[in-house]
Chain A
Amino acid sequence: MDNQLPVVSIRDVTKVYNAGGGDRVKALDTITLDIYPGEFVSLLGPSGCGKSTLLRLIGDLIAPSTGTVLVNGKSAHQARLGREYGMVFQQATLYDWRTVGKNVQLPLEVMNYPRGQREARTQKMLRLVQLEEFDRHYPWQLSGGMQQRVAIARALAIEPALLLMDEPFGALDEMTRERMQMELLSIWSQTKTTVVFVTHSIPEAVFLSSRVVVMSARPGRITGIIDIDLPRPRVFETRENSRFFEKLTEVRERLRHDEVKVASS
C-alpha cells in the first residue's frame, strides 16, 4: 500500500471555528491521515469529534485553519473544481422537482456531459442501486432507504475515484441500514472507489471498513487507527463471526479509553 500515492493526504490540519470571536471552538487538532486507493476508511467518534468537519475539509466544502489537504495529489480546492469526488449526505437531499432518473443525472447536467452519456450513465447507476424501475418516480414516492440509494447513485454518476459519505445511513431504521451496508459493499467492490465514511455506529464502521479511524472530541483528534482484517466479501454471517466481535471490542475499548482519559483530565 505504501508504494501507492494516497488518494487523500491530510497533513497537520487544524480547524478553528469563530477564530476571532469569544466562542472560539477548536474542532480539529493537528490531524494527519493518508487514505490509499481502494480503501474503505471510516471516521468514527462521538458527536463533536469533528469527523464531519474532517470530511467537509476533504471535499473542500470548508477550508482548514492550518495544514494542507491533498486529494489525488492536488489541493482539495483544485480537486473539487476538477470534480474528482462524489458526496452523500445524511439527508438524501434529492431535488423534489426531479424524477429519480433526473436526480441521478443532476451532476452530469451541471458538468455538461453529453446527453447520450448522461442517460447511459444514469441507467447504469440506477441498475447498480437496483432502482431501474423507479426511474420516473418522484422522490416523495420513495421510502427513506430508497431515497438514500438514489443519492448514492447520484454521487457515483460521475464515476469518481473518491466517495465521501457523511453518516449516509444515520436516518434509516436498523434493518434497512444493514441491508444498505451490504449494498454499499457490493457497489464498492464493483466500482473500486475509495470510500471515506463518517459514522458514529461501531458495528457499522467495523462491518464496512478496511480501516477505522477512531476520533475523540474537544478538540477533535485521531486517537487510533484500527485495521479491520475480516475476510471479504463480508456477508450477513460476518456479523455473527467471533472475529467480528473481537474487532468490535477493540474499537469500543479504543473509544472508551479516550473517554476515560478525557474524564480524568
Chain B
Amino acid sequence: MSQAADLVPTVEAELLPETRRPSQLGERLRRYVPALGLFALALVVWEMVVTAFQIESFLLPKPSVIGAVFVREFPVIFPAGLFTMREAMGGFVMGCTLGGVVALSTARWTVVRDGALPFAIAVNSTPIIALAPIMNQWFGITNPLSKMSIVAVIVFFPVMINMVRGLTQVSAGALELMRSYAASEFAILSQLRIPNALPFVFSALKVASTLSVIGAVVSEYFGGTREALGVYISQQAALFHFAEAWAAIIVACAMGITFYALILLVERLLMPWHVSLRATEG
C-alpha cells in the first residue's frame, strides 16, 4: 500500500484551503482611515453649522466648546464615569451569571426551558428601564445596587435566551457521534453543548455590554448619588450647562465602546476557532 502513501503529500498540498495570512499592521490601520475621516468631517460640519446659523449654545454647543469643557471637567466626569462603569459591570456580572445558570438548568430540565423561555422572550421585548424608579425605591436611591439590579435584569434575558439556543441547537450528527460513544449527559454537556453555545453566548454578551452601560446611565437619570455620571448629565442639563452634559456623554460613549471591546478581546482569546477570526476577504 505504499503507493497510496507516496501519493498523499504532493496532492494534499494543493488541496489545502487558504489559511490565515499574517496581517500587516499598516494594512489594518488603513482600513480605519475612511471611518476616521468621516468622523472628522462630521465634527467640522457641526462646528460650521452652529457658527453659520448662530445656533444657541444651550440647543447645540460647538464641538470645540465641548472639547474645552471636556478637558476642564475631566477631573469630575472621569471618576463619575468609573463610578457608573462599576455599576454597569456589577450588574452585567450579576445578570450574566444568573442568565447562564438558568440556561444551564434548562439543559438539564427541559421543563424549565418550556416554562421559562416564552416568558423570557416576552419580557426581553419590554422596556425594563421603566422599572428604575421602583428599584430606586426597593434598594435606596443612592445605593449602587438599585442601578446594578436594573442592569442585571436588562442583561439577564438576552444572555439566557441566546445560551439556551446555543445549548439546544446542536447538529444531529454531532449528537449521534456522542451517542455512539455511549457518552454521559455530563460529557455531552461539557464537550458538545457548552462549546457549541459559546458563539451564541458571546453575541449576547456583546449586546449586553452596551445595554449595561445604557441601563446604568439611564437609571441614574431617575436619581442617584452625586458622583454618578447619569446624575451629572441630568443635573447639568437641568442647569442649561449643555456643554458639560455633552462632555459627560462622551465619557459614557467611551465606556460603552471600551466594555464592548473588552468582550470582543475575551471572545477572541476564548474562541480561536471562530468563523469571524478566519482569513478575511481583505
Which residue numbers of A lie inside 8 Å of B, CB to CB?
59, 61, 80-83, 85-87, 89, 91, 93, 95-98, 106-107, 109-111, 130, 138, 140-143, 145-146, 175-176, 179, 182-183, 185-186, 189, 233, 235-236
23 contacts between A and B (CB under 8 A): A61-B180, A80-B179, A89-B176, A93-B174, A93-B176, A95-B174, A95-B191, A95-B192, A95-B195, A106-B181, A110-B184, A130-B8, A138-B272, A140-B275, A142-B16, A143-B12, A143-B17, A175-B11, A179-B7, A182-B3, A183-B1, A185-B1, A185-B4
Bound CA span A86–B15, Å: 27
Q: A83-B181, A95-B195, A189-B1 are in contact. Are A141 and B174 (CB under 8 A)?
A: no
Q: Does B177 contact A (CB under 8 A)?
A: yes
Residues of B within 8 A of A140 (CB): 17, 273, 275, 278
Mark interface residues in B1-41 (1 if CB within 8 Å of A CB, else 0). Answer: 10111011101100111010000000000000000000000
Bound CA span A87–B183, Å: 14
Q: Does B173 contact A (CB under 8 A)?
A: yes
Q: A110-B191, A145-B15 are in contact. Are A130 and B179 (CB under 8 A)?
A: no
Within 8 A of A (CB), among B140-183: 171, 173-174, 176-183
CB distance from A234 to the nearest CB of B (A): 9
Please determine whether B17 and A110 come into contact, CB atoms closer than 8 angstroms.
no
Please determine whether A110 and B180 come into contact, CB atoms closer than 8 angstroms.
no
Query: Of the candidates B174, B181, B271, which one forms a contact with A107 in the assembled complex, judged by CB atoms under 8 Å apart?
Result: B181
Residues of B within 8 A of A143 (CB): 12, 15-17
- The interface size of chain B toward A, counting residues with CB under 8 Å, comes to 36
Residues of A within 8 A of B195 (CB): 95, 97
Please determine whether B19 and A83 come into contact, CB atoms closer than 8 angstroms.
no
Residues of A within 8 A of B178 (CB): 110
Please determine whether B191 and A186 come into contact, CB atoms closer than 8 angstroms.
no
Sorted nearest first, the 10 A-B pairs with minimum C-beta distance are A186-B1, A182-B4, A143-B15, A93-B173, A97-B195, A87-B180, A110-B183, A110-B181, A81-B182, A138-B273
Which residue numbers of B lie inside 8 Å of A, CB to CB?
1, 3-5, 7-9, 11-12, 15-17, 19, 171, 173-174, 176-184, 187, 191-192, 195-196, 198, 271-273, 275, 278
Bound CA span A128–B171, Å: 28
Query: Of the candidates A89, A97, A185, which one forms a contact with B173 in the assembled complex, judged by CB atoms under 8 Å apart?
Result: A89
Please determine whether B15 and A146 come into contact, CB atoms closer than 8 angstroms.
yes
Which A residue sits closest to B271, measured CB to CB? Answer: A97
CB distance from A180 to the nearest CB of B (A): 9
Please determine whether A93 and B1 come into contact, CB atoms closer than 8 angstroms.
no
CB distance from B281 to the nearest CB of A (A): 15
Please determine whether A109 and B3 come into contact, CB atoms closer than 8 angstroms.
no
Which B residue sits closest to A107, measured CB to CB? Answer: B181
